[in-house]
Amino acid sequence: MTPTPEPDPRAKPLDHLAERGRDADPALVLRSGTLSYKDLRTRVGALAAWLRRELPQPGARVASWAAKGELTCLLPLAAARAGLVHVPINPLLKRAQVAHILADSGALLVLGTKARLATLEAEDLPDGCRSMDEGQVANAWDAEAATLPPSAWDPHDLAAILYTSGSTGRPKGVMLSHANLWLGAVSVAHYLGMQADDVTLAVLPLSFDYGQNQLLNAWYAGGCAVPLDYLTPRDVIKACSRHMVTTLAAVPPLWVQLTEQEWPQEATAPLRRLTNSGGALTPDLVGDLRGIFSQAHLFAMYGLTEAFRSTFLDPSLIDANPTSMGRAIPFAEIMVVTDDGRVADADEEGELVHCGPLVAQGYWQDAERTAERFKPAPEGSHFGGMAVWSGDRVRRDAGGLLYFVGRRDSMIKTSGNRVSPSELEEAVLATDLAAEAVAIGVPDERLGHAIRLILRGDPSDEVALRAALKAQLPNFMQPRDIEWREVMPLNPNGKIDRAALAREVAA
């Protein structure tokens, strides 16, 4: 790997991100046509000018609720140029969730698909908030004569509020500055080795930090992004073939579906890198991906919206360390802190604490929950200042590689023992008797909590699975109940919706 870049204290405003692309090179491939970098910069300037006229107050919130298209792809840069705060809303969300986000953010303008906006009632819009459908925006945008030049906003100004998926409790709005998003793009483009001839297939939601960064790191490197709203895994494969995609990012449930498909050589040959976040890879899934995409580098990553991205594993290490989270990404300092406040020793479990300039500014209008997660950095931190205390339990081995243990609030307490759901799930998947697995604790008068496994696979394999688990795991980790499903529920970011499963189990 090349040396880590030093953080630039003069990090630029976000709307400067596409400066490196050459005018004639493709920047964005849409169904309606391809935008060159010259087109991209022109269109961002015109959209920013229109937004400035619609919302002249700096810091006003503009929300978007639409599928991937020119508007949703360019809004992060155009809103930043206009001095506004972008609030991207996942198009899979429904009226009640959208109404909460609009009200909580105080959005004054929501831009979206006409059919989606039609589901909103008048009371769903905050006072003073207007809605405009994509067609109306396109007409006004195309007619815009003015253009805003690249901005000179303070990089520490608020640029976006990204709401958590809402799968657990009330969605929180994570406040991200220009610098957070700029340095995130620089960091990822650097460690992925992104180049100007790269083509990124953007399949993840643009309301998801991992999804939005697909565009930002591609444009920072001068490469091309191809947004795709897919219906089936075959759509992804066809797009890889059609556009000669070099970079593909996904979350584990999608990777599982993709490895179950036949991949033609014209789809796999151009791929240079695969990236995973939003959940851990299993050894079997790593093996499947390496078998299909033998020439591509596989990047396992860990992140949280409150600090964007924290770690990545050098692809050269993944065959020997398939379950590792790797080490800190550029611009991040990752510390493992024990419950008594010490920096953990090698192989000692502790909480992952993320320090440095990628740390977000807290939760929008939520001082209580901000104080719970954003706290002063541990003693000995290089960066100091505020850090994100993730709540995730990890350990660092003697070689410096990090491994996920589980979330503090998801650990199953059974028979006086603490059981990591992820450890149990990995053991299940290693048997090859289930395609996907979720472990949940359910109340039990005798045990405190009993373990229930929810699996995707063939119920006829249950006897063999229980025998395999009994041979591999201690008695206190054995599941009491096993439930088999044909399909796992997914949250709007494409991850298995563990909270929905837990609610079903508790009902």
User: Could you give the CA distance from residue 293 to residue 225 in angstroms, rounded to a whole number?
Assistant: 20
Helix, strand or coil, per DSSP, at residue 507: coil
User: Does residue 420 form part of some domain?
Assistant: yes
Output phi, psi for 236, to 5 deg.
-65, -45
Q: How many domains does the chain have?
A: 2
Total-model pTM: 0.84
∠ CA(192), CA(277), CA(197), 5° rounding?
A: 30
User: Does residue 138 form part of some domain?
Assistant: yes
Q: CB count, 10 Å around CB of 459?
A: 12
The residue with greater pLDDT, 342 or 426, is 342
Rg (alpha carbons) of the chain, rounded to whole number: 23
Helix, strand or coil, per DSSP, at residue 128: coil
Sign of the torsion angle spanned by Cα atoms 284, 289, 291, 297: negative
User: Does the structure show a pLDDT above 70 at 167?
Assistant: no
Half-sphere exposure at residue 433, Cβ-oriented, CA atoms within 13 angstroms: 19
User: Does residue 224 form part of some domain?
Assistant: no
Which two structure tokens, joined as six digits, stand for 16?
Answer: 């400067």
pLDDT at 170: 65
Helix, strand or coil, per DSSP, at residue 53: helix
The residue from 156, 177, 198 where one domain ends is 177
**Confidence band (pLDDT; 50, 70, 90) for 491?**
confident
Nearest to 209 by CA among 306, 276, 112: 306
User: Could you give the CA distance from residue 102 to residue 14 in angstroms, rounded to a whole number?
Assistant: 23
Structural domain boundaries enclosing 43: 12-177
**Per-residue model confidence as pLDDT tens digits over 272-322:** 999 998 777 888 899 999 999 999 999 999 998 899 899 999 999 999 999
User: Could you give the CA distance from residue 31 to residue 281 in angstroms, rounded to a whole number?
Assistant: 32
Question: How many angstroms separate the Cα of 83 from the Cα of each of 119, 154, 177, 353?
Answer: 29, 10, 11, 31
Nearest to 410 by CA among 451, 444, 445: 451
Looking at the chain, the number of H-run helices and the number of E-run strands are: 15, 25
User: Could you give the CA distance from residue 15 to residue 44 in angstroms, rounded to a whole number?
Assistant: 8
Helix, strand or coil, per DSSP, at residue 301: strand
Confirm if 332 and 299 have CB atoms less than 8 A apart: no
Confirm if 506 and 442 have CB atoms less than 8 A apart: yes
Helix, strand or coil, per DSSP, at residue 304: coil
User: Does residue 384 form part of some domain?
Assistant: no
In CATH, what number is assigned to the domain containing residue 104?
3.40.50.12780
Question: How many angstroms separate the Cα of 259 from the Cα of each of 250, 281, 286?
Answer: 12, 13, 10
User: Does residue 305 form part of some domain?
Assistant: no
**Per-residue model confidence as pLDDT tens digits over 60-70:** 999 999 999 99
Beta bridge pairs of residue 394: 350, 404
pLDDT at 2: 37
User: Does residue 304 form part of some domain?
Assistant: no
Nearest to 53 by CA among 161, 141, 159: 141
Torsion of CA 192, 198, 203, 206, to 10 degrees: 70
In CATH, what number is assigned to the domain containing residue 498?
3.30.300.30
The residue from 143, 177, 211 where one domain ends is 177
Percent of the chain predicted with pLDDT > 90: 79
Percent of the chain predicted with pLDDT > 70: 95
User: Could you give the CA distance from residue 164 to residue 312 in angstroms, rounded to a whole number?
Assistant: 22
User: Does residue 465 form part of some domain?
Assistant: yes
Helix, strand or coil, per DSSP, at residue 206: coil
Burial of 227 (0-12, 13-18, 19+ CB in 10 A): buried
User: Could you give the CA distance from residue 176 to residue 120 in angstroms, rounded to a whole number?
Assistant: 27
Mean per-residue pLDDT for 374-384? 95
Question: How many angstroms separate the Cα of 496 from the Cα of each of 387, 410, 442, 487?
Answer: 28, 15, 18, 10
The residue with greater pLDDT, 474 or 271, is 271
Confirm if 411 and 393 have CB atoms less than 8 A apart: yes
pLDDT at 416: 62
Nearest to 42 by CA among 139, 141, 134: 141
Which two structure tokens, joined as six digits, stand for 455?
Answer: 């699996």
Mean per-residue pLDDT for 92-96? 84
User: Could you give the CA distance from residue 276 to residue 455 in angstroms, rounded to a whole number?
Assistant: 21
The residue from 177, 205, 225 where one domain ends is 177
User: Could you give the CA distance from residue 71 to residue 386 in angstroms, rounded to a whole number?
Assistant: 34
User: Could you give the CA distance from residue 46 to residue 215 in angstroms, rounded to a whole number?
Assistant: 19
pLDDT at 57: 97
Which two structure tokens, joined as six digits, stand for 307?
Answer: 């600090």
Question: How many angstroms separate the Cα of 348 from the Cα of each of 210, 270, 397, 476?
Answer: 29, 41, 8, 22
User: Does residue 148 form part of some domain?
Assistant: yes
pLDDT at 448: 76
Mean per-residue pLDDT for 337-347? 95
User: Does the structure show a pLDDT above 90 at 166?
Assistant: no
Mean per-residue pLDDT for 131-158? 96
